[in-house]
Structure 1
Amino acid sequence: MPNLTALQVKNAGPGRHADGRGLYLLVRESGSRSWVFRCQVDGKRQDLGLGPVSKLSLAQARAEAATLRIRIQNGEPWRSEKTMTAETTPTFAAAARACHTAIKGGWSNQRHAASWLISLEQHVFPVFGELPVHLVASPIVREALAPIWLKIPETARRILQRIGTVLDFAHIQGWRPDEVTLRSVARALPRQPVEDSHYAAMPYIEVPVLVATLHRLSATAGRDALLFTILNAVRSGETRLATWPEIDFEARTWTIPACRMKMKRRHIVPLSLAAVAILNRRHSVRATDDGLIFSNHGTRPLSDMTMSKVLRDLGHSKITVHGFRSSFTDWAAERTRTPKEIVDKALAHKLADRVEAAYRRTDFLDRRRNLMRAWATFAFSSLQSE
C-alpha cells in the first residue's frame, strides 16, 4: 500500500522516503526533490532516476515505476532507446552548466562560483564535454584527470569532486539511469604527494631585513600594498580593496566592512605611524577621494599576484603574502607578553569557544594599538639601526 501523499511529497525533509514497491522520494539538503526506483537488474541492485518532482507527479512516478517493474520482470530493457539517447540527453558540458546555475546561488564567494565552472571548461570539457552525460563513466574521468593529477594535485581533486556533483545532478534530473561513484578514479591514478596546507611564512626574525629592502624600492602601488599588509597583519584581499572612506586619519584607524572580512564581521585596525606614512604617500597621488587606496586609477584593484611578484623579484618566491600573518603571530608569542586573545583579535580570528565569543564583546583597540606599534617598530628595526 502506498505510503506517501502529495502533501508529504511537498513537505518531506532531506532524506530518502519510501512510497512502496521500490519507489522512493529523494530530498537533497538543497531542497531538490526527485524520484528513484530501486530494483534488481541482472542480480545487482540499481537505483534508477525517474526525474524531478517538478516534472513528475506522485501518480506519474508510480506509473513509471510500475512500467519499469514489468519490463524488468519480463527481461526487457528497463529504458527504451527513445528515452535515453544522445539526442534526448544533454552533453556533460550542458549538464555541468545547468548544475552550476542550480547550485551557485548558495555560495557567498562568487570568485569560487566562477572558478568552479572554469576548471571544468579548461580540463574536462575538451576531453568529454560533448559526450552525453549518461555515458560518462570512471575510465574517461580518469583519462581527463591523468595529465593534471600530479601537476596540480589540489585542483585535480577539486575537479574530481565537481564531476561527481554534475553526475549526481544529472541523475536527479533523470538524465542518468543510476547514481555513480568515482572512488575508483583516484585509486587508478598515482598517489599524490602529501602537501603542507599551511601558507609558507617568512621567519619573523627576517622580516626587518625584508622591510628595509622594500623601503628602498621605488614607491609603487604593489610595494606600498605589501608593506601595508605586513604592518597590519591583514589578508592581501583586505588591502587590495581598501578605500579612502575606510580610513580615519584623525583616529588613526582603518575600518574594514564586514562584507570584505572572512568572518563577515567589521574589523577595526589601529594604524601605526609607519602605516599612516604609507597612506599619506598614497593620498598625495590619489585619483579620487573615495576610490581604492592601492590603485593607480582608484577603480581597478591590484591583482592577487602583484604583491607576490614584489616578493618573487626579491628572491622570496616560496614566501606567501598571507604567511606574514604567521610571522606576526610568532613574533607576538616570542617577543611580547601579549595575551593570545588580543593577538587573535588583531588577526580578526573567530573565537573557537562560542560561550566565550558571546561574552567577550571588547575589541581590545587600545591594547591592539600598542601591539601594532611594537610590531612596526620591530619591522623597521633594521632601518633604525643603520
Structure 2
Amino acid sequence: MGSHTRNVLTVKAIAASKAAKLRDGGGLWLVAKGASRYWILDFTFRGKRRQMGLGVYPDTSLAKARDRAAEARQLVRDGVDPIEQRKAENAPPRDVMTFGNYADFYIDEAVRVGRWRGAKTEARWRNMIENHAASLRDKPIADVAIDHVLAAIRPLWGSKQETAEKLREAIERVLDSAKVEGHRSGENPAAWRGNLEHVLHKPDALTSKGHHASMPHEEVPGFMKKLTNVAGVGARALEFAILTAVRSGEVRGALWSEIDLQKKIWSIPAARTKPGKPHRVPLSDKAVALLKTMAAQSVNELVFPSVRDKKPLSDMTLGKALKSAGGEGATVHGFRSSFRDWATEVAHTPREIAEAALAHAVGDAVERSYARSDALERRRALMQQWADYI
C-alpha cells in the first residue's frame, strides 16, 4: 500500500493549503474538485489500482476519513474489494427482491442523485408506488407480469386517466431499472408501445378532471382558419402556442429578448419552463410572420402584452379565444397532445424528436443524447411540417 508515513495532515494544514491534492499517507488523499474537496483512497486490489471515494470534506472529518481508510485497508488485507463491498451493502437484498423494495430503492436513488426537480415529484412517486401500485408491492420483481400491471392500472383507466398514465410510466421505469441491475429479464410488461396499447385504449377527448381534453389533429386545420378571424392578442397567443406546441404559460410570458427572428429561434430560459431546462423552439415561417405582426404593434417587452400594464395575459384570455373560434370541449394545453398524435400518426416522427419538440424529459441514454443536441434541425423540419399541415 506504500504506507511509509501515515497521518501526515492536520486540520490546520488543510485549512491553510490551496493545493489540489494533499497526502495523508497510506493511500489517503484530500483532492480538490471545483469548489469542493473530498477524500479518496488509492489502493491496489489483485494487481489492479483502484480509487475509492470516502466522503466530502469537512462533512467527513480528517479523523473519520482515516477510520474509513483503515477499514478499507483491512478489507483489502482480507482479500475483499472495499468498493464492491460498499456496493453490496448499499444495494437492496437480492434474494427475494420485491417490487415494493426495489421501487423504494429506485425513488431513494433518484432523490440522492437529484434526478427530480422539487419535492413534489418525489411525493407523487411515493404515493403512486405506495397506494396505486399496492397490489404489486409484495410480488417478487422478477415475476411481475402483464396481468399484475393491468390489475394496478385498470381501476384508474378512463376515470383518473392522468394518474393511470403516470402510474404505468412509473411501473415501466422501475421495471426497466430492475432489469438493468439484473433483478429481472425479458420484455417490460408495463411498456405501452406494441404491448399495453393493444389492451388499454386511450379514451378520446378526455374531459375527466385533471386531464387536458385535446382536439383530434384532423380538426386543428379547420379550427386554425376560424381562429385567424378572431381579433385580439389572446387569439394570436393561442395561434402561436398551437404553432409551436409550447405550454400556454411559456407563450404568455414570452419576451422579445428571447426571440431571434434572423435565426428563427425562440430560446425559452430554464426559469420559465416546466422541466426547468432551457428549451429552444425552431420557428416555422407562419410563426415568424405572426411575430412580425406582433412586433409592429409592440408596446413593451412582452410579445403578447395584456391590457394591464406589463402583466402577461391570463390563461383565461387564451381560453376565451379558443371558445370564440368554436373550440368548446378542447383545452389550450390539449393542443400539445394534438401535435403529439399528429407527429406519430401523420409525420411518423421518431419518438425522441417529438418528445424533444414538447420539451419532455426523455428516457434512455440514446434519447437523452438527442435531447442534449436537442436535434434542432430535425425539429425545425417537423415544426414547419406541422405549420403547413394546420
Q: TM-score, normalised by structure 1?
A: 0.46
State the structure with bigger RCO (CA 8 A, min sep 6), 1 or 2.
Answer: 1
